[in-house]
Structure 1
Amino acid sequence: MPTRTSGSQPNGKKRKHNAEPKSLKRKRVQDDLQELLKKVDDFDPKTAEITKFTDLPLSTPTASGLEASHFQNLTDIQAKAVGPALKSRDILGAAKTGSGKTLAFLVPVLEALFRAQWTEHDGLGALVISPTRELAVQTFEVLRKIGRYHTFSAGLIIGGKSLREEAERLGRMNILICTPGRMLQHLDQTAGFSVDSLQVLVLDEADRIMDMGFQTAVDALLEHLPKSRQTLLFSATQSRKVSDLARLSLKDPEYIAVHEAAASATPTTLTQHYLVTPLPEKLDTLYSFIKSNLKSKIIVFMSSGKQVRFVYESFRHLQPGIPLLHLHGRQKQVARMEITRRFTSAQFSCLLATDVVARGVDFPSVDWVVQMDAPEDADTYVHRVGRTARYERDGKAVLFLDPSEEEGMLKRLELKKVPIQKVNVRDKKKKQITQQIQDMCFHNPDLKYLGQKAFISYTRSVGLQKDKDVFDIRALDLEGYSVSLGLPEMPRVKHQKAEDIKKIKNRSRAELSSGSEYDSDGEKIKKPKKKDEVRTKYDRMFERQNQDVLSTHYSNLRPEAEEDDDFFGVKRVLEGDELDREANGGAAPASKVVPVYGGQELIIDSKRREKLIKSKKQMLKYKGKGTKLVFDDDGEAHQIYELQDEDDFQQEGSAEALRQRFVEEEAERVREADVDDKQLAREKRQEKKAKRKERERMEEAGETDVPGRNAPALGTSEDAENALDFLRSLPVSGGGDGDSDGGEDEPPAKKAKKWFQDDSDDEAEKKKKQKGRGKVIEVTDEPNNLEDLEALATGLLDD
């Protein structure tokens, strides 16, 4: 038996829908909203026991998004922060890394906009500021997961992308996740972008935003935002700067420090070690560590991007047996996102990175966090090791310390409640790669250049650190570190102290001599030679130090004929006329003058100026500015015609006088051209007349080779005789007995008349032929001027 679906009639026609179902739907939505608001008002976060997201008064789209993303249980920071945030309270939250702070502020953001029935026509409702691009991208991905059932529009505003494309979409966004500098740039430059209706402001990793130098940008950003808003600040650590910021931007905030009373500032599942290794042996230790953990996922933190590039390129050539990736702030945004994606999806990999991924970025299943360079403070250490042991998982971390950094850094970590143990490196596991890096730098200049930049950036980062109890650049073996980077000599460090620079400048000549080293008393220091050490040519090359830098200089100072060999002859610097008089034996000065560009002259009165004319770069200042030229169709160059100013035009005279002057100049130019044309025409007529006379003379003399009459002459007279002999040997055509013995050729006989043809017929036939052929005029030369053309036209008209 056929059934009938709802909304259709028995005849099969559909029933028209009226407005009643829509009104009922709107009424049901309003009833649900009022019920949700009542639940939020009745909710007391201090007395309620909250362990799961279902215990919170959340809207249906948010609850569905959390369930679809498999978020069920609440972490400590979420259980204590989400409840007050739902009550529209300002939050200042601090929790360990990996504790779920992202959901602690994204859920209140979605709920605040949902309860306000926010639409795309209402403008920007929530703003989330992150310190790094990687953290902003990660926050945006989490928002997409839990907000999939909401109708809000969200955008990601970070550097490295087109500002114009972002500006076109800003006006339709309800939620923005951005970095401070990019957001401030849009507020200043994007027309029509308004934040007057902002409801929620979130500062993620607030302490890092202030440490990275964004304090000025954030202060300027807060000036654009409305005062009546909800502000949420979250970070793994809290500092005095964040407290100052809280007093400026938060109203009666609720301070939530989940792990403030914990025995450790780091997760309990994290195993932390440190090892003492001298600065020149850090690369050997790092390479040995990577070779020993090939089946692991490792993050190696360094102090600068240039170090990351050098270590990545060096280890990539050494091929340790594990995929290598590198990430730093100088890369393009597309490359940074691609490297982040590859490391996230990799099972075994080693990521060499700076502190751009030290905060908030969630890389799954990281086994080891290695800090090759010491962090600037204990907070940075906590954030670095927080990339592993996330969400109560196990993790391990190791810190490389120079002997001069050990005591100070351990004190800082102890005050921060960081449990760390010392370990030693087994000699059997340690590998020496210094010789291989030196060989690569010797054959690859680009790698050597990266090594120089890495050395300079590391020493600069150490010199700029504020904590001098930990970072003392004078206690580091910088010369050994430069050797470990494959550099033949240590680059100059510009940030050395004044007393160190003075001490270096005042060294004795013995200390500056090549091939050996001397102490301050001039005694030679003998280096102990290792037993059975094999010295290669590369070792000897790296031991060379300025062997012939001064020899050429001092040989130039010595006069050509020197009687006393015990002293150097130093030339006295003379200037002006005194120099010229001495060169000329007291006579008048006679300096050498060399013409240069633009009619200028350069006086050569010293060797320095004499060398100057051999340098193109130094001579550019004497080179005048060129003039613009245009080329016509024939390829001739002409200067660009420029309009004259009215004042300059009037100074030259009246328009009538200028016109008269122009006419006279053009007439003179035409007269000169006419004289040249007449002279050329006269020469051509004389040449033509001479050729005609020569031709007439040859005709009278009976010569056969008359120019212009017969065929072109052969190359030589011998060739002409051979050709004539050949013609004579040909049989004579036209009847009669041919005389083949070589007699003279007779003219061909006339054509015999027919019996019915008379002389009148011959005349008629000649006229007929001439009528069809036309008159033939012999022209010996091509007409060159008007006179030749007139003569040719006259001959044609005489017909």
Structure 2
Amino acid sequence: MVTPGITGRIRPTKVKKRENLQKRKRDDVDVEKLEQAVQQLDPKNGSYKDFTDLPLSEPTKQGLKSSHFAVMTDVQAKAIPLALQGHDILGAAKTGSGKTLSFIIPVLENLYRLQHVGPDAGLGALILSPTRELAIQIFDVLRKIGRHGHMFAAGLLIGGKSLQDEREALAKMNILVATPGRMLQHLSQTAAFSVDDLKMLVLDEADRILDMGFQHDVDAIVEYLPKERQTLLFSATQSKKVSDLARLSLHDPEYVSVHAQDESATPKGLTQNYIVCPLEEKMDTLWSFIQASKKSKILCFFSSAKTVRFVYESFRHMQPGIPLLHIHGRQKQGARLDTTAKFSAAKHSCLFATDVAARGLDFPAVDFVIQVDCPDDVDTYIHRVGRTARYNREGRGVLFLAPSEEEGMLKRLEAKKVPVEMINVRQKKRQSIKDQLQNMCFQDPALKYLGQKAFMTHVKSIYLQKDKKVFKLKEYDLEAYAASLGLPGTPRIKFMKDDNSRQKKQASRQTIDVSDSSDAEEVAKAEKPVRTKYDRMFERKNQDVLAEHYKKLVRDGPDGETPADVFTGASAADGGDEDFMAVKRRIPADDEEEASATMGTGDARVASGGRLVHVAGASQPLVIDSNRREKLLQSKKKLTRLMDKGKRLVYDEEGNPHEVYELEDEAQYRAKGLPEEQRQKFIETAREVVQNADVEDKAAAKAKRKDKLRKRKERERNEMAEGDADAGVELPDPGEDLLANFRADAEYTDEDDEEQQQEPSKKAKKWFESEDEDEEKTQKRKKAKAAHRVEEPETLEDIEALAAGLLG
């Protein structure tokens, strides 16, 4: 029996394993002291500069120290104390000012003081992000700060991963970082996932999440969450709409805006410029800029994913001398993560991106942010240029504006306190790549197709813009823009039609009639009485049998009467308005039907004004009474179908023709006997034919083998004779041959002797063989034959020795 307290393990159990076996709640935490210190904070009047000035737990302090965070930014100094006391916050600060830590530290500390730890506690905090890349970045910061002693279970919910694996882990999570779509999917489909005990809701990039793109998802998520919770909203451009705040059920929110009084809404270290560049010159200007900045880190923004792909593929083929990357929303999750990791680690690189990378992402040491396509609004511009000049560093942003966009966009930037200066492009350093793009599109159809899609999506993005004072579609030179992309022509776009089809579709019928008619017709139509819906209802006609185009069918009745006239006894003379089921032209569906129609009704069609054409091989003439039948004379294929079909004949021994498949009379068939007897006779006759043919085939095969053997013997004798003649040996007379008994083929004929005396025929030389090569081959062949030549016996002793050797 084992003594109590003593286990059977040889090695001592590790301390960490013993801790994991226990409940994950900690007993050594003095929650009351932390709570008292938090309540003593004075966020409005107090001044806090360092993180050590705040009442934080030891695990959080260790995480901040290991990540080298010591001094708080302005937004952190104002937002963190308020969030620690449980206030709802609307936080607005410039890009790169440290908003992520402003809500991660309160999330960790508030749940730490509540001891919301372990799988039994459930979900305590939810952080929503608009993009997957930003959610991954927030989760990385949360993991770095919280891994030094915090016991919370944190998870990441984004699309592109296994849904079943996430369902199994959701019940144990205390903190979740998620995108709205994935979060709503689990709330509606995962039964074991409960958010009834949620303490905190955080929305990063809140203006984007509350925008139209995520409005439905966020509203549905909020319906699942409890009303009593703390809500934190952070963004560079904060939303102050009453409707947005009411949807989130905020309770007396504190508005934190540390840069509201600044002269600029963008960071101080950011230099902002713009270039007036027509649409057709953007590709040349971008290529020239990349060539001049190869030792820099560049981020280029475009309006559509197709444009990003086209620019990336075309520039990659041209090899600019700098690593190129691209990211957009249509990529798979793994490819997007690889791209962000590569661009973050690169020292010199160029990334082409859509607005997927415009918000929240922290790319270190970005030198230039190039906005090739004009942003939708000023908020998008601020988020784009915020990818550089982060954390008091320096950076530069360049905006490409078309001449029609310059005035409207500059007014909106000035209204939002965004200082932008105009610069010019040096014409000496500018390079034109139009010819190269045309050559690549000509050689690669896939690239040409991608360019067409890029053109269409870019024009569509301009067409769908809300601010029509900035984006004036009619003032762009779209043909020149298509040529600058290397396309052979301008792709056709449906919404670019000038016929105002959309307005016509929405307008009433009376308006269209009035607009299309003349002044006199307008007056006449205005005097018409107003038709009610009942009038229009009784004026309608069935669109299948009773429609106008079904009333005129072929006149097949006698004397031009319609089928209705035949059935009812009426004629055309009785009344001309009662033409029912009469057609003036019928087009047959089949060629055979057409042939019969063209050949069979000759008299009627000639009488109606047609002419007869006799076709060689046709028994009946062809009637030509229309242009369509006139074209039949030019088609050999159709004329052959109109000709008479011939019969295949066989001739008997007497020379009389018969059809191939000619049936016998029944009397002749019965006179030959019963069917079984005829069958046996046929089988015996067929057997005899097969046996005779088999004998003939065997005789022919035997003769063929004998002929082949004779020819081989002849060839060997000729070779022997050639070898002896070359060696100067005199052959014995064939009549006095002493080895006649030992030869395999002793039967000689006069024909064989004549063939033996003939010289073997030489093969014709090929076009590539010379006479020297022919002589060398002949000498080699003679030497080989001389080596294998059998010497003829000269004396009787030689003959006896040869016979003894052959006999064994």
The TM-score bracket by the shorter chain reads 0.5 to 0.7
CA contact (8 A) 1:593 1:603 kept: no
Q: How many Å separate the matches in 2 of 1:689 and 1:459?
A: 86
The residue number in structure 1 matching 2:443 is 443
Amino acid across the alignment from 1:594: D
Q: How many Å separate the matches in 2 of 1:376 and 1:418?
A: 15
The residue number in structure 2 matching 1:48 is 46
Q: CA 1:594 to 1:223, structure 2 compared with 1: closer, same or farther past 3 Å?
A: same
Amino acid across the alignment from 2:131: T
The residue number in structure 2 matching 1:139 is 138
Amino acid across the alignment from 2:135: A
Equivalent residues in 2 for 1:16-35 (5 A)? 29-30=27-28, 32-35=30-33
Q: How many Å separate the matches in 1 of 2:686 and 2:354?
A: 93
The residue number in structure 2 matching 1:127 is 126
The residue number in structure 2 matching 1:87 is 85
Q: 1:136-177 deviations in whole A, cap 9, x for unaligned?
A: 111111111111121111111112222222222211211111
* Alignment TM-score, normalising by the size of structure 1: 0.63
The residue number in structure 2 matching 1:36 is 34
Q: Secondary structure at the match of 1:211?
A: coil
Q: How many Å separate the matches in 1 of 2:468 and 2:245?
A: 27
Q: How many residues align?
A: 561
Q: 1:164-215 deviations in whole A, cap 9, x for unaligned?
A: 2222221121111111111111111122211111110000001011235111
**Which segment drifts farther, 343-352 or 141-150?**
141-150
CA contact (8 A) 1:580 1:588 kept: no
Identity among equivalent positions (%) equals 57
Equivalent residues in 2 for 1:691-710 (5 A)? none
Q: How many Å separate the matches in 1 of 2:167 and 2:268?
A: 45
Q: How many Å separate the matches in 1 of 2:186 and 2:453?
A: 34
CA contact (8 A) 1:301 1:373 kept: yes
Q: CA 1:713 to 1:166, structure 2 compared with 1: closer, same or farther past 3 Å?
A: closer
Query: How much does 1:34 deviate?
Result: 2.2
Q: CA 1:690 to 1:202, structure 2 compared with 1: closer, same or farther past 3 Å?
A: closer
Q: CA 1:593 to 1:277, structure 2 compared with 1: closer, same or farther past 3 Å?
A: closer
Q: How many Å separate the matches in 1 of 2:106 and 2:131?
A: 22
Amino acid across the alignment from 2:139: F
Which 4+ residue blocks in structure 1 deviate beyond 4 angstroms?
12-15, 24-28, 497-503, 572-575, 578-581, 586-591, 602-608, 679-692, 711-714, 716-720
The residue number in structure 1 matching 2:429 is 429
Q: CA 1:121 to 1:589, structure 2 compared with 1: closer, same or farther past 3 Å?
A: same
Q: CA 1:13 to 1:446, structure 2 compared with 1: closer, same or farther past 3 Å?
A: closer
Q: How many Å separate the matches in 1 of 2:51 and 2:71?
A: 6
Q: How many Å separate the matches in 2 of 1:342 and 1:55?
A: 37
Amino acid across the alignment from 2:369: V
Q: CA 1:265 to 1:576, structure 2 compared with 1: closer, same or farther past 3 Å?
A: same
CA contact (8 A) 2:24 2:151 kept: no
The residue number in structure 1 matching 2:417 is 417
The residue number in structure 1 matching 2:206 is 206
The residue number in structure 2 matching 1:219 is 219
CA RMSD, aligned part only? 4.5
The residue number in structure 1 matching 2:263 is 263
Q: CA 1:311 to 1:60, structure 2 compared with 1: closer, same or farther past 3 Å?
A: same
Equivalent residues in 2 for 1:594-633 (5 A)? 594=590
Q: CA 1:359 to 1:242, structure 2 compared with 1: closer, same or farther past 3 Å?
A: farther
Q: How many Å separate the matches in 1 of 2:11 and 2:374?
A: 78
Q: CA 1:715 to 1:292, structure 2 compared with 1: closer, same or farther past 3 Å?
A: same
Query: How much does 1:445 deviate?
Result: 1.1
The residue number in structure 1 matching 2:157 is 157
Query: How much does 1:419 deviate?
Result: 1.1
Q: 1:267-300 deviations in whole A, cap 9, x for unaligned?
A: 1110111110111001100000000000000000
Q: Does the alignment pair 1:291 with 2:275?
A: no
Q: How many Å separate the matches in 1 of 2:404 and 2:398?
A: 18
Equivalent residues in 2 for 1:243-258 (5 A)? 244-245=244-245, 248-258=248-258
**Which segment drifts farther, 244-253 or 297-306?**
244-253
Query: How much does 1:420 deviate?
Result: 1.1
Q: How many Å separate the matches in 1 of 2:454 and 2:12?
A: 76
Q: How many Å separate the matches in 1 of 2:333 and 2:557?
A: 64
The residue number in structure 1 matching 2:523 is none
Q: 1:547-583 deviations in whole A, cap 9, x for unaligned?
A: xxxxxxxxxxxxxxxxxxxxxxxxx9996327999xx
Q: CA 1:172 to 1:489, structure 2 compared with 1: closer, same or farther past 3 Å?
A: same
Equivalent residues in 2 for 1:477-496 (5 A)? 477-496=477-496
Q: CA 1:688 to 1:490, structure 2 compared with 1: closer, same or farther past 3 Å?
A: closer
Amino acid across the alignment from 1:282: K
Q: 1:630-662 deviations in whole A, cap 9, x for unaligned?
A: xxxxxxxxxxxxxxxxxxxxxxxxxxxxxxxxx
Q: How many Å separate the matches in 2 of 1:28 and 1:689?
A: 106
Unaligned 5+ runs, structure 2: 504-548, 559-581, 599-625, 633-673, 707-808
* Alignment TM-score, normalising by the size of structure 2: 0.63
CA contact (8 A) 1:580 1:591 kept: no
The residue number in structure 2 matching 1:639 is none
Q: How many Å separate the matches in 2 of 1:717 and 1:375?
A: 90
The residue number in structure 1 matching 2:316 is 316
CA contact (8 A) 1:206 1:242 kept: no
2:99 to 97, 101, 104: 101
CA contact (8 A) 2:75 2:93 kept: yes
CA contact (8 A) 1:300 1:369 kept: yes
Q: CA 1:212 to 1:337, structure 2 compared with 1: closer, same or farther past 3 Å?
A: farther
Amino acid across the alignment from 2:340: T
Q: Does the alignment pair 1:64 with 2:62?
A: yes
CA contact (8 A) 1:274 1:420 kept: yes
Q: How many Å separate the matches in 2 of 1:71 and 1:47?
A: 24
CA contact (8 A) 2:552 2:584 kept: no
The residue number in structure 2 matching 1:237 is 237
1:111 to 99, 109, 112: 109
**Which segment drifts farther, 342-351 or 44-53?**
44-53
Amino acid across the alignment from 1:108: P
Amino acid across the alignment from 1:39: A
Q: CA 1:370 to 1:714, structure 2 compared with 1: closer, same or farther past 3 Å?
A: closer
Amino acid across the alignment from 1:451: G
Q: CA 1:450 to 1:34, structure 2 compared with 1: closer, same or farther past 3 Å?
A: same
CA contact (8 A) 2:553 2:583 kept: no
Q: How many Å separate the matches in 2 of 1:438 and 1:294?
A: 24
CA contact (8 A) 1:120 1:152 kept: no
The residue number in structure 2 matching 1:577 is 554
Q: How many Å separate the matches in 1 of 2:223 and 2:41?
A: 34
CA contact (8 A) 1:580 1:590 kept: no
Query: How much does 1:13 deviate?
Result: 13
Unaligned 5+ runs, structure 1: 1-6, 504-571, 612-678, 695-705, 723-799
Equivalent residues in 2 for 1:302-701 (5 A)? 302-496=302-496, 576-577=553-554, 591-594=587-590
Q: CA 1:338 to 1:186, structure 2 compared with 1: closer, same or farther past 3 Å?
A: same
CA contact (8 A) 1:210 1:241 kept: no
Q: How many Å separate the matches in 2 of 1:407 and 1:227?
A: 46
Amino acid across the alignment from 2:699: G
Query: How much does 1:349 deviate?
Result: 0.3
Query: How much does 1:57 deviate?
Result: 0.9
Q: CA 1:682 to 1:373, structure 2 compared with 1: closer, same or farther past 3 Å?
A: same
Query: How much does 1:48 deviate?
Result: 3.1
